Amino acid sequence: MRTITTTEDLAAFCEAAKTQAYVTIDTEFLRERTYWSKLCLIQMALPGKGGDAVLVDPILGEDMSMEPLYDLFRHKGTVKVFHAARQDLEIFFVEGNVFPEPLFDTQVAAMVCGFGEQVGYETLVKKIARENLDKTSRFTDWSRRPLTTAQAEYALADVTHLREIYEWLSAQLAKNGRTKWVEEELAILTDPATYTVHPDEAWLRVKTRTTSGRFLALVKALARFREEYAQKHNVPRSRVMKDDALLELASTRPTSLEELGRSRLLLREGRKPEIAEGILAAVKAGLEMKPDDMPKPDLSREQLQVNPALADLLRVLLKAKSESLGVAAKLIANASDLDAIAAGERDVEALSGWRAEAFGDDALRLCRGEIALSAKGNEVRVVRL
């Protein structure tokens, strides 16, 4: 196996990849101790069982430029194939401000080809490549050097089997006419907004049932401080304070270091002077926030007048559609989507794009009384009225 540690060798491999229809790619990274993922290894393989497969080591090659790889990402003549690409793409977007184009994600493709929701790579290797993976190196510290032979073989297996999986899935998509379904889903993965967390919006990630404007103002101010500090110092949010501690502080509203010291849930890291002072400043900002600036909870779903009988029929329709198409029901629509449709809402993801073709169009016909559902044995059928 070959390990690339220089810009020249990386450029040579990427130029070879540009002559191919596709290249498979994966990464190994660490994120437990940082806000941003630390890239530790890149694996790539060219088509064919004997196609060149390499490890790209940015740790041993600390002076190596990633620009040849980013140039390959921008080369539209070669499909870049990943499995469960989201975290990989975040790394390249943050470090290089680039997305692979065109992109193919075998996890997304597998979901619309009948393999269920969020199917794992190991499952696809077994079912499509008819191989077994050695997962002993799965939970390893990829930042340590030298890599063992087992680690290197494990890493390469993530891209060598991916070749056969990609070819099989892309053929299936062409056969069943669902290529555009996958393209719609991949558009989300290549949207910068997917990976950009604005500190002012960080409060939306904190789960709370409280609808008090002042309480939410404190949550917003504390979440904003936590996000800004974590990004600036490249530490996990939880190292600043966990959600339960944040909610406790929004409730107790400490205004001095002495009051802050009484917190039951704030970890030792959060009691350091710089963080402690930031917390107190955030509490002050939350307490002084004007009513017009306070965040307002989204109560629209709670206020929906759901027709329960129609919601039940939509669930039956969804189950029938998902089974006939071989697509996981949760990928098409979730329970809140069905309730919203049954309440008359039409700005619902399940009613647009490929989901409309798969389910949404018939869901609207059911709501308008244009179709009915009938059962024959274990089969549910759509009947035109």
User: Regarding predicted confidence, which is higher, 251 or 304?
Assistant: 251
Q: What is the pLDDT of residue 300?
A: 60
- CA torsion 197→203→205→208, rounded to 10°? 180
- Per-residue pLDDT, averaged over 295-311, amounts to 79
Q: How confident is the model at residue 283 (pLDDT cuts 50, 70, 90)?
A: very high
User: What is the fold, at CATH topology level, of the domain defined by 199-293?
Assistant: DNA polymerase; domain 1 (1.10.150)
Q: What is the pLDDT of residue 299?
A: 62
Maximum distance among all Cα pairs of the chain, rounded to whole angstroms:
71
The residues with which 24 forms a beta bridge, in sequence order, are 45, 81
- Per CATH, the homologous superfamily of domain 308-384 is HRDC domain (1.10.150.80)
Whether the model clears a pTM of 0.85, i.e. scores above it, the answer is yes
Question: Per mean pLDDT, which range of 85-89, 194-198, 229-233 is the poorest?
Answer: 194-198
* DSSP string computed for 109-134: HHHTTTS-TT--HHHHIIIII-----
Neighbours of 322 (CB within 10 A): 19
Neighbours of 161 (CB within 10 A): 23
**pLDDT 10s digits, 16-66:** 999 999 999 999 999 989 999 999 999 999 999 888 999 999 999 999 999
**pLDDT 10s digits, 170-215:** 999 999 999 999 999 999 999 999 999 899 999 999 999 888 999 9
CATH 3.30.420.10 residue spans of the chain: 2-194
**pLDDT 10s digits, 71-84:** 999 999 999 999 99
Q: CATH number for the 2-194 domain, one of 3.30.420.10, 2.60.40.1190, 1.20.1440.20, 3.30.1360.120?
A: 3.30.420.10
Neighbours of 155 (CB within 10 A): 23
Question: Per mean pLDDT, which range of 43-57, 87-101, 151-165, 371-385 is the poorest?
Answer: 371-385
- Per-residue pLDDT, averaged over 126-133, amounts to 92
Distance of alpha carbon 277 from alpha carbon 209, whole angstroms: 27
| Residue 352 DSSP symbol | S
Average pLDDT for the chain: 94
Distance of alpha carbon 374 from alpha carbon 22, whole angstroms: 46
Token reading at 82: 């990943």
- CA torsion 266→267→272→274, rounded to 10°? -60
CATH 1.10.150.80 residue spans of the chain: 199-293, 308-384
Q: Over 70: is that where the pLDDT of 301 sits?
A: no
